[in-house]
Amino acid sequence: MSSLPLPAVRVFEAVARLQNFTKAAEELNMTQSAVSYQVKLLEEFAGAPLFHRLARGVALTDKGDLVAPVIRRALAELGETFRALREEQNSILVVSVIHTFASNWLTPRIVDFQTRFPDISVRFDIASRLVDFSAEGIDCGVRMGKGSWPGLKAHRLLSGGFTPLASPAYLERYGRPEKPVDLLNYHLITPDDDWWTVWFRQAGVEGPLVMAKPGVGIDTQQIIANLALSGGGVALVSEGIFKDEIDSGRLIQLFDVCASTGSDYYLVYPDGKQLQPKLRLFRDWVLEQAGQPI
């Protein structure tokens, strides 16, 4: 026999502690013959008897007495290592979240979660792709969509409705538009974005949409909004994500029209299994922050 028979090690520990094959078999949910077989394997590996077989139990031989404390320490260290791994896993919450939501809505609020639950460490996985929650070790995600993803539980957080915003400095230079159609004469950030067509139509602007001024093409809402904040033009972004900028007056909502494609922001996580405490706490907290019922 060339390698240590690991199942036999666990059996040896139980027999040595209980000093009885029958009691060890009951504890390990094995038959007595299976316990005897595992002990025999270990004795063959050791090349010496490890137990004295007595009428009413067993006793360790000198060789067995030498091995027993080593095995007890090794099993204890293994148990402690795996407990530590489990505790670490239970204390780290991994959230897959799209960039703009993370930077403009979640990050300013996450300090509150950390203050309330200091034993839970939050890690953001910034991604817009679909993720494999189990394979990638991700607990939950924030995605934009219509609330239906196979195998996922979804909780609506914020409206995905979008509206034109501009900085006070930009409006001071170019004036504030009076009607939605007037925006065609302003610097629209990412003018070829399909959202502009949706917004103009829902704002009642008919006919061809001809942009009079050149715009800058950007593919993330955060950078679009940053350019608007610096006075670089009119941004069409999600009202809910940039509510703080609107409330503070750093960005001005130009019209009451908030258009939508039907997609909103949702918290999602695998459905059909019991929630870990860390995920339940985060779910309830983020719904509270978003003003949604728990």
In order, the DSSP letters of 89-154 are HHHEEEEEE-HHHIIIIIHHHHHHHHHH-TT-EEEEEE--S---TTTTT--EEEEEESS--TTEEE
Query: What pLDDT band is residue 84 in, cutting at 50, 70 and 90?
Result: low
CA distance 82 to 233: 55
Query: What pLDDT band is residue 74 in, cutting at 50, 70 and 90?
Result: confident
Query: What pLDDT band is residue 77 in, cutting at 50, 70 and 90?
Result: confident
CA distance 184 to 233: 12
pLDDT at 192 over 90: no
Separation of CA 86 from chain center: 17
Query: What pLDDT band is residue 213 in, cutting at 50, 70 and 90?
Result: low
Question: Mean of the pLDDT values across residues 40-61?
Answer: 90
The pLDDT value given to residue 90: 61
pLDDT at 72 over 70: yes
The pLDDT value given to residue 2: 66
Sheet arrangement for strand 162-166: 235-238, 162-166, 252-253
Lowest mean pLDDT among 56-70, 78-92, 158-172, 175-189: 78-92
Q: Are the CB atoms for 34 and 15 separated by under 8 Å?
A: no
CA distance 287 to 294: 6
| Mean per-residue pLDDT of the chain | 88
The pLDDT value given to residue 292: 92
Question: Mean of the pLDDT values across residues 253-273?
Answer: 92
Report which of 211, 213, 108 is spatially closest to residue 170, judged by C-alpha positions.
213
Q: Is the pTM of this model over 0.75?
A: no
Question: Mean of the pLDDT values across residues 118-127?
Answer: 89
The pLDDT value given to residue 164: 97
The pLDDT value given to residue 225: 92
Domains in the chain, ordered, with CATH?
A: 6-89 (1.10.10.10), 91-153+263-289 (3.40.190.10), 162-253 (3.40.190.10)
pLDDT at 217 over 70: no
> Two tokens at 198?
């949706």
Report which of 64, 6, 15, 67 is spatially closest to residue 36, judged by C-alpha positions.
15
Residue type, 252: I
pLDDT at 38 over 80: yes
CA distance 31 to 34: 5
pLDDT at 45 over 70: yes
CA distance 39 to 19: 12
Instruction: Provide, rounded to the nearest whole percent, the portion of the chain with pLDDT above 70.
Output: 93
The pLDDT value given to residue 89: 56
The pLDDT value given to residue 145: 92
Instruction: Provide, rounded to the nearest whole percent, the portion of the chain with pLDDT above 90.
Output: 59
Instruction: Determine how many CB atoms are found less than 10 A away from the CB of residue 259.
Output: 20
Percent of residues in the chain assigned helix, strand, coil, to nearest 5? 45, 20, 35
Q: Are the CB atoms for 275 and 283 separated by under 8 Å?
A: yes
